[in-house]
Amino acid sequence: MKFSFKNDYSEGCHPNILQALTETNFEQEAGYGEDQYSLKAKTLIKKKINSPDSEIYLVSGGTQANLIVISAILRPYQCVISSAPGHILNNETGAIEATGHKVLSIDTEDGKLRPSDIIPVLEGHGNVPHQVMPKLVYISNSTELGTVYLAEELEELSRFCRENNLYLFMDGARLGHGLTCEINDLTMEKVAELTDIFYLGGTKNGALIGEAIVINNKDLQQDFAFNIKQKGALLAKGRLLGIQFMELMKDDLYFDLAQHANVQAMKIKHALKERGVQFLSDTYTNQIFPIINNDLIAILSEHFDFFVWKKIDEKSSAIRLITSWNTGDEPVERFIEIIKRELQ
């Protein structure tokens, strides 16, 4: 049987979540997220970010969260700025454009955005009112290339956005992995302070389904619930989401799971680096992108599932390996064993 390094949601859910869902199954609770578990989960998240005035909405998935947030806060003539690898550009079937909002793409080597990247976009959209208005900066942490924003970088970007009347929205599908990697110096509290909106991803980190949208900018909080309902995201049995986030937030389970995934990925990364393998980007999270020859890719494919991310030349390609909260030592050791054997 092959082991999958294709994604971080190939697993089920953490046993604590499954147990909690089973134990509460016959309880009667209010619907639409008004149950005691959803309310407790939101309270726990607010404590983690030290922001009692933030509003939190639980939805089922990342694409849904991105779609709802962007369509809710932008006017019809406003648009989004994203790095080229951004999830909203490449993996959401044009969901944002389908709501009438253009996505402006910026090429960056590491998948991160900096003020210097955004300035030319703003300067190129000054023909008012004949061009769309850039209004929202979309970033991911960790990014689609596995890189992370350091505190100084996010502070600079946040300050730039506020000075230029731009909203800053962080896609946090892998936020746990970003905040627990070995080079990180951000905290949940800092993320809440520096962004207008972000979300905390559960689907890729121990939950069955679920993302927690956190709205920090009070001007964006009004009437947001209507958008949740209109987009079909107000789950009738909201307890399903509330119970999961309640368990993930208790005793820092969310961060423990993310850190485990990072550690397993770094074992593979270090083994590859020891044998001179180069990487598409220097990552410290649960996504790594080694550049290896196609013959070795064929051998590894016999034992593992993964994505061939990018063709480098006729003989080599970059592959993407993703470890999950449940990745054990055995598949990692098997992968390293093959690497050692083939890269003498």
Could you tell me if 224 and 313 lie in one domain? no
Could you tell me if 238 and 272 lie in one domain? no
Taking the whole predicted model, whether its pTM rises above 0.85 is answered as yes
Could you tell me if 42 and 58 lie in one domain? yes
The alpha carbon of residue 266 and the mean position of all alpha carbons in its chain are separated, in whole angstroms, by 19
CA distances from 115 to 106, 121, 194, 241 (A): 12, 10, 15, 36
Neighbour count for residue 22 (Cβ, 10 Å): 9
Could you tell me if 205 and 272 lie in one domain? no
- Max distance between CA atoms of the chain, in angstroms, equals 62
Could you tell me if 278 and 261 lie in one domain? yes
* Residue after which a domain boundary falls, among 200, 222, 251: 251
Residue 89: give its domain's CATH number. Answer: 3.40.640.10
Could you tell me if 303 and 233 lie in one domain? no
Could you tell me if 244 and 262 lie in one domain? no
Give the per-residue pLDDT at 1. 78
Residue 282: give its domain's CATH number. Answer: 3.90.1150.10
Helices and strands in the chain, H and E counts: 14, 14
Give the per-residue pLDDT at 121. 97
Q: List the chain pLDDT tens, one digit each, 344 residues.
A: 799 999 999 899 999 999 999 999 999 999 999 999 999 999 999 999 999 999 999 999 999 999 999 999 999 999 999 999 999 999 999 999 999 999 999 999 899 999 999 999 999 999 999 999 999 999 999 999 999 999 999 999 999 999 999 999 999 999 999 999 999 999 999 999 999 999 999 999 999 999 999 999 999 999 999 999 999 999 999 999 999 999 999 999 999 999 999 999 999 999 999 999 999 999 999 999 999 999 999 999 999 999 999 999 999 999 999 999 999 999 999 999 999 999 97
DSSP string computed for 309-331: EEE-SSSEEEEEEE--TT--HHH
Closest listed residue to residue 111, CA positions, set 82, 133, 134: 82
Asked if residues 208 and 58 have their Cβ atoms less than 8 Å apart, the reply is no
Q: For 232, left (φ over 0), alpha (ψ -120 to 50), or beta?
A: left
Number of domains into which the chain is organized: 2
Could you tell me if 303 and 220 lie in one domain? no
Closest listed residue to residue 199, CA positions, set 244, 168, 165: 168
Could you tell me if 147 and 290 lie in one domain? no
Give the per-residue pLDDT at 344. 78
Could you tell me if 241 and 207 lie in one domain? yes
Between CA 136 and CA 133 the distance in angstroms is: 9
Between CA 103 and CA 105 the distance in angstroms is: 6
Give the per-residue pLDDT at 141. 97
* Residue after which a domain boundary falls, among 251, 285, 307: 251
Q: Which residue has the tokens 């905040």?
A: 179
DSSP string computed for 223-268: THHHHHHHTT---TTTHHHHHHHHHHHGGGHHHHHHHHHHHHHHHH
Could you tell me if 71 and 218 lie in one domain? yes
Neighbour count for residue 239 (Cβ, 10 Å): 25
Between CA 78 and CA 305 the distance in angstroms is: 40
The boundaries of the domain holding residue 204 are 15-251
- The burial class, CB within 10 Å (0-12 / 13-18 / 19+), for 67 is buried
Could you tell me if 182 and 209 lie in one domain? yes
Q: Which residue has the tokens 């208790």?
A: 250
Structure-block tokens of residue 172: 């946090």
| Polymer length of the chain | 344
* Residue after which a domain boundary falls, among 224, 251, 278: 251
CA angle 87, 92, 96 (to 5 degrees): 95
